[in-house]
Amino acid sequence: MLTLRQLEYIISVDEERHFRKAAERVHVSQPSLSAQIMQLEQRMGVTIFTRSKKGVFPTPVGQELIARARKILSDVDGFKEFAERSSHPLSGRIRFGTPPTIGPYLLPHIVPKLHQKFPDLKFIVKEEMPKNIQASVENGSLDIALTPLPLLSNNLQSQIIFTERLYVGMAWDHMLSTHCYLKGSDIKGQEVLTLTQGHHLHDQVKSICDTYGAEILYDYEGGSLDALRHMVAMGAGISFFPELYVLSEIKGRTDLCTKEITDNNINRDIAMVWRKDNPLSEEFIKFSDLFKVQVEGLFT
């Protein structure tokens, strides 16, 4: 008989790519884990992993079975949590994802207020790139997440939490700093610093630069918004900063300033996302509504 424990074992081996480490992770002996996986392979009539001196790797059919195992275990967790929460709405554990360009500047203001309202609600926060976040929500590794739109999968449901502008940031003595406001044409030919590729913001800034004829400095990509801010303050170029970051980390500084491009709506939509088939969808809608109310106070 197929067991949930066996599904946990194959997921552990897939993530560790090593039988001993996988066994330690799930707190069983290596022979016991190996035997259970072999029993599962024999029962299903397939080979889930190939074993060689180079390591342990899932076969093509194994990859599909592992993906299905993750969804099954996620559904089981959702079933348990739904039962537990039926008499205590908005309680229990939430595995929450956020990009590094949002979480550090938003969650410290929001999470304490949510804890006051719902003391039984426990956040487990994980920072990932938006593309990885959406994949983690889809495969059940995360319950819910904040991420810039658009959605990358039809299996996800979203609710916009806020829309934030992107501001042009520059050193205080930059030629554009004397402008009261900017037009898109003002950044033509300007050297632009941006985050490393893989960040949603990188792709958005690249699109803006392509539209207005600005030049991205690929040799000076920043790993974080803070790194970009330091490079901009030293006069290495201009950059684009999200409104939330500007309010949190730039407003009131004297080493750099920000300007809005007024002839174009340069912004991004930040949404709460979860799997459409998540049994807690109704609760996530309520949670998103409450989260949105708390966020609105930050922009007023």
pLDDT in tens, 133-186: 999 999 888 999 999 999 888 999 999 999 999 999 999 999 998 888 898 899
Q: Tell me which amino acid residue 287 is.
A: F
What is the pLDDT at residue 230?
Answer: 93
Sequence ranges of the chain with CATH classification 1.10.10.10:
4-73
CATH fold of 4-73 reads Arc Repressor Mutant, subunit A (1.10.10)
pTM: 0.69
- State in words which class domain 74-162+269-299 has: alpha beta
What is the pLDDT at residue 262?
Answer: 86
Sequence ranges of the chain with CATH classification 3.40.190.10:
74-162+269-299, 163-267
Give domain 163-267's CATH number out of 3.40.1390.30, 3.20.10.10, 3.40.1440.10, 3.40.190.10.
3.40.190.10
- CA neighbours within 13 Å on the CB side: how many for 152? 13
d(CA 139, CA 142): 8
Q: What does each C-alpha distance from 239 to 147, 169, 227, 260 come to in angstroms?
A: 21, 5, 11, 12
pLDDT in tens, 60-99: 999 999 999 998 888 887 777 665 655 555 667 889 999 9
- Per-residue confidence at 43, pLDDT binned at 50, 70, 90? confident
Q: Sign of the CA dihedral 65, 69, 72, 74?
A: negative
Terminal-residue alpha carbon distance, the chain: 58
What is the pLDDT at residue 44?
Answer: 87
Is the pLDDT score of 40 beyond 70?
yes
H or E element in which residue 146 lies:
strand 144-148
Is the pLDDT score of 300 beyond 70?
no
Q: What does each C-alpha distance from 89 to 30, 45, 119 come to in angstroms?
A: 40, 43, 11
Q: How many other C-beta atoms are found inside a 10 Å radius of the C-beta of residue 178?
A: 8
pLDDT in tens, 235-253: 999 999 999 999 989 988 8
